[in-house]
Amino acid sequence: MAEPRWLDDEEMRAWQAFLASTALLNRRIEQQLKDDARLSHPQYEVLVRLERAPGNELRMTELSDALFTSKSGITYQIDQLEKAGFVRRTPAPGDPRGIVASLTPAGRRKLEAAAPGHVALVRDLLIDVLTVEQRKAIADGLGEVARRLR
């Protein structure tokens, strides 16, 4: 068996910075959305994806793929959002097994109320902390990681 390619100091620094920053960012974003909008981060992302989709609707499988979550995970989030009146589920046209989730007017209002605080926090904690070059490097590098993992 081949010897593992251990991380050198610079590689370890990058890995640990990634772990720390994502954990801390996720924690702060989750808390802000709960405090200000009574939404979880995954619920907020569902509303964003639906708002940006043609007709403000997506098949559940497309939504699950877009949010990199399991079908059961997206079903749970949609259940919660539907109970709150922010999302509606209907059968997919021409496919009795498919389900479409769509944004309701109440969901649009919820997103419009939640978005300014969320964007301000993302800008404060990440975007405005980095230079243009750093943002480009992160977007390029993490984009490549995501591409390979897909």
Taking the C-alpha atoms of residue 45 and residue 87, their distance in angstroms, rounded to an integer, is 13
Return the pLDDT at 97.
87
Contacts of 7 (CB under 8 A, 6+ apart): 15
Residue pLDDT, tens place only, 66-111:
998 888 899 999 999 999 999 999 999 888 889 999 999 999 999 9
Residue 2: predicted pLDDT: 86
Structure tokens given for 133 = 């070059």
Amino acid at 96: P
E strand or H helix that includes residue 96: strand 95-103
Pairing state between β 87-92 and 57-59: unpaired
Q: CA gyration radius for the chain?
A: 18
| Residue 117: closest CA among 37, 23, 13 | 37
d(CA 13, CA 146): 20
Count the neighbouring beta carbons within 10 Å of the beta carbon of residue 61.
Answer: 13
**Residue 130: which pLDDT band, with cuts at 50, 70 and 90?**
very high
Q: What is the mean pLDDT of the chain?
A: 95
Parallel/antiparallel/unpaired status of strands 57-59 and 95-103? antiparallel
- Distances, alpha carbon 43 to alpha carbons 60, 65, 88, 123, in Å: 14, 15, 14, 20
Instruction: Provide the 10 A C-beta neighbour count for residue 82.
Output: 15
